[in-house]
Amino acid sequence: MTKVCIIGDVGHFSHAVRAAAESDSLCISAVSDGVERAGCEKAFKAVSECNPSAKRYADYIEMLDAEKPDIAVVNPYCAYNARVSIECMRRGINVFSEKPAAVTLAELDALREAHRASGVAFSTMMAIRYTPHFAAAKRAVEAGAVGEIRLMNAQKSYRLGKRGGMYLDRRLYGGTIPWVGSHAIDWLYWISGKKFSEVYARHSSMANRGHNDLEVSAICGFEMEDEICATVSIDFLRPASAPSHDDDRLRVVGSSGVLEVRGGRVYLINENGEQTLENAEPVNIFGEFVKAVEGKPCDAVSAEDSFYVTEACLRARESADTGKSVKF
Amino acid sequence: MTKVCIIGDVGHFSHAVRAAAESDSLCISAVSDGVERAGCEKAFKAVSECNPSAKRYADYIEMLDAEKPDIAVVNPYCAYNARVSIECMRRGINVFSEKPAAVTLAELDALREAHRASGVAFSTMMAIRYTPHFAAAKRAVEAGAVGEIRLMNAQKSYRLGKRGGMYLDRRLYGGTIPWVGSHAIDWLYWISGKKFSEVYARHSSMANRGHNDLEVSAICGFEMEDEICATVSIDFLRPASAPSHDDDRLRVVGSSGVLEVRGGRVYLINENGEQTLENAEPVNIFGEFVKAVEGKPCDAVSAEDSFYVTEACLRARESADTGKSVKF
């Protein structure tokens, strides 16, 4: 039996809850509050529905030492992801962390070092990689559907609604580029397999409807290896009346084709004409992480990818904060 | 009768040919070659079909001095747009120029000065403003459909095919950001009415299928007034099998709605839900310019807009050439 504990409930702990509900060999034994006013009501409620004997702790350190889990699901306020992950890894606990893995480059260095020293598995919740449409896009690009990638455009657009907690305090939140944009930045790296060489970014809190310093619009321009260039567009301005919470898009322009993910489908134009690709089967990201922990073949987000994309997000945020482009 | 002459046939002289064919008060009296190996076969053939007595000149200066037209349609190789326009304006001839109006900032200054001194009308061929879908988008944004604009994403994607002439020599061509990207950069300014404050751009000639130094992929990130940010994506990589030559798109994200131009239609989501807007009636850009020349109320692209968008294109190209962001 693989024992799992959840810390905080700010992010996407639900991947683990769903995986545990569908598995006989996974048990979420306990849930704890996050750090600094971050509770765990939502997570504890969801876990208790599957495991009525799950415990609840106020202090996550106490939980880790008492429960000695195999895996910690880390999703306190973003600003504490790195600190909490490091505490877990020092105890030899594998970490499934909300993204961004860290909100400063210094913390990211400490996290990388703690991971190196621990030998445990570490992964971030880049769950959109596992959706049927993005997985189909990745498969097609790998099969050569667009030839050599030359240009990419990624889009994240979310409804804002009324948000509280960390969203009202950039110190706890880390910024919209790392929180929302991290998915888009991950796609660029994941789909192309190419590294970033420079980023130019801008963001703004204007029109955020009373959400303090929350940035609700942002752009990034990336220069990548092999003269590939890419744009990222991020906003929290999707109208409440929109048919979905998000409007995730990715356009991949290659030497011999153009592929587009939009509205949950994948469109391809290349020498074979226009087609809509068949979506892939949905895969639970946490299930892949458990396989990684167990040393089985899997498609988990690697620690290296997690750290690299976090770094890219933080450099983009630095560019937006300082008004200067930032080299990698 | 308004007398028109055409110089060169590299660009979109056809707007003038079409307008003349539909008007009793417009006459294209003559056509001349451009500058440095640029002919006028296509233009002369098209004009002759409507006006069998149209003359053909090898030298445009000779034509201007002999014909004394009211309007010159300027579309030699891009690199000569400014020089030819200045010669026309010095003779008191109104100028309808291909974009970009100039390919260096020094020439743009000279062009602005020549325009100021001449008092004639000057306009560039930003014809996409007049398409039924872009005109409908402009009308909707002006009517407040998205509230305050916060973010824009513009896309130009063209088929490359096999190109010769100026496309094979950046010195004559001026670059893909000014030639193709100028439309997208124009949309940002035209739709929002806001000025640019900084640009970061990158471009690449890789995968251009033997077209020398022709850039076939490019991005721009713009910082604009009021913390508006915008991306531009440009490519010549649209597959030959695509259903159209171009894939023009514009996404306008505002404080209360998102509008999108795509595939010749305009999609809007705001507090009234989702809708596809009615397209506007098509308008001939040259017809509007003729009205401007005649002092009538019109919707011509102003000289100021023409020069400003040219400047933005050249600053973006400078950023891509130097690898540095450029302030306005």
* Whole-number pLDDT of residue A37: 75
A145 and A58, same structural domain? Answer: no
Residues of A within 8 A of B223 (CB-CB) are 202, 323
Whether the CB of A273 is below 8 Å from some CB of chain B: the reply is yes
Once rounded to an integer, what is the mean pLDDT over residues A180-191? 98
Question: What number of C-beta contacts closer than 8 Å exist between A and B?
Answer: 162
Assess contact for B305 and B187: CB atoms under 8 A.
no
Task: Kindly state whether residue A269 falls inside one of the protein's structural domains.
Answer: yes
Task: Kindly state whether residue A297 falls inside one of the protein's structural domains.
Answer: no
B323 and B203, same structural domain? Answer: yes
B198 and B52, same structural domain? Answer: no
Task: Kindly state whether residue A252 falls inside one of the protein's structural domains.
Answer: yes
Q: Name, in order, each residue with C-beta under 8 angstroms of A67's C-beta and a sequence gap of 6 or more.
A: A3, A5, A29, A30, A55
Which of B62, B85, B120 is where one domain is finished?
B120
Nearest to A14 by CA among A3, A1, A28, A2: A28
Q: What is the pLDDT of residues B163-206, one digit of tens each?
A: 998 999 999 999 999 999 999 999 999 999 999 999 999 999 99
Quote the number of domains for chain B: 2
| Crossing angle for the helix pair B81-90 and B60-67, to the nearest 10 degrees | 20
Interface with B, mutate which of A159, A227, A271 (most B CBs under 10 A): A227
Assess contact for B158 and B318: CB atoms under 8 A.
no
Nearest to A134 by CA among A277, A244, A290: A277
Task: Kindly state whether residue B38 falls inside one of the protein's structural domains.
Answer: yes
Assess contact for B310 and B107: CB atoms under 8 A.
no
* Whole-number pLDDT of residue B37: 75
Q: Alpha-carbon dihedral of residues A17, A20, A22, A26, nearest 10 degrees?
A: 170
Residues of A within 8 A of B198 (CB-CB) are 323
Q: What is the pLDDT of residues A238-266, one digit of tens each?
A: 999 999 999 999 999 999 999 999 999 99
Residues of A within 8 A of B270 (CB-CB) are 239, 241
* Whole-number pLDDT of residue B193: 98
Nearest to A218 by CA among B69, B227, B284: B227
Residues of B within 8 A of A238 (CB-CB) are 258, 269
Strand order in the sheet with B196-204: B273-276, B265-270, B257-262, B249-254, B149-159, B229-238, B217-224, B196-204, B326-327
The span from the CA of B120 to the CA of B116, in Å, is 8
Copy the structure tokens of residue A297: 């073949």
Q: What is the pLDDT of residues A22-63, one digit of tens each?
A: 999 999 999 999 988 788 999 999 999 999 999 999 999 999
Assess contact for B240 and B196: CB atoms under 8 A.
no
Q: What is the CATH number of the domain that holds B95?
A: 3.40.50.720
Residues of A within 8 A of B324 (CB-CB) are 325
Residue B220 DSSP SS3: strand
Taking only residues 3 to 42 of chain A, the set having a beta carbon closer than 8 angstroms to any beta carbon of chain B reads none
Give, in order, the Cα–Cα distances in Å from A174 to each of A316, A324, B171.
12, 19, 46
Predicted TM-score of the model (pTM): 0.97
Share the mean pLDDT of chain A: 97
Task: Write down the ipTM of this complex.
Answer: 0.96
Which of B76, B95, B120 is where one domain is finished?
B120
Task: Kindly state whether residue A296 falls inside one of the protein's structural domains.
Answer: no
Pick the residue from chain B with its C-alpha nearest to A200: B200
Task: Kindly state whether residue B298 falls inside one of the protein's structural domains.
Answer: no
A66 pLDDT exceeds 80? yes
Q: Alpha-carbon dihedral of residues B203, B14, B138, B197, nearest 10 degrees?
A: 40
Task: Kindly state whether residue B228 falls inside one of the protein's structural domains.
Answer: yes
- Residue B105: domain span: 2-120
A272/B230 touch (CB, cutoff 8 Å), yes or no = no
Assess contact for B155 and B188: CB atoms under 8 A.
no
B274/A218 touch (CB, cutoff 8 Å), yes or no = no
Give, in order, the Cα–Cα distances in Å from B308 to each of A85, B73, B102, B112.
51, 20, 11, 10
A207/B253 touch (CB, cutoff 8 Å), yes or no = no
Residue A271 DSSP SS3: coil
The span from the CA of B78 to the CA of B178, in Å, is 9
B174 and B320, same structural domain? Answer: yes
Task: State the DSSP string of A111-133.
Answer: HHHHHHHH---EEE--GGGGSHH
Q: What is the CATH number of the domain that holds A203?
A: 3.30.360.10
- Confidence label for A173 from pLDDT (cuts 50, 70 and 90): very high
* Whole-number pLDDT of residue A39: 87
B164 and B82, same structural domain? Answer: no
Nearest to A35 by CA among A19, A51, A57: A57
Whether the CB of B253 is below 8 Å from some CB of chain A: the reply is yes
The span from the CA of A153 to the CA of B237, in Å, is 14
Q: Name, in order, each residue with C-beta under 8 angstroms of A307's C-beta and a sequence gap of 6 or more.
A: A101, A108, A111, A112, A115
Q: What is the pLDDT of residues A79-130, one digit of tens each?
A: 999 999 999 999 999 999 999 999 999 999 999 999 999 999 999 999 999 9
Q: What is the pLDDT of residues A293-302, one digit of tens each?
A: 999 999 999 9
Label residues A108-129 b or e (16+ Cβ within 10 Å = b): bebbbebbeebebbbbbbbbbb
Q: What is the pLDDT of residues A213-238, one digit of tens each?
A: 999 999 999 999 999 999 999 999 99
- Which region, left, alpha or beta, applies to residue B212 given φ > 0 means left and ψ of -120 to 50 means alpha? left
The span from the CA of A214 to the CA of A235, in Å, is 11
Counting as low any pLDDT under 50, the low residues of chain B are none
A217 and A197, same structural domain? Answer: yes
State the DSSP code for B143: T
Question: Which of A151, A157, A274 lies at the smallest CB-CB distance from B219?
Answer: A151
B109 and B139, same structural domain? Answer: no
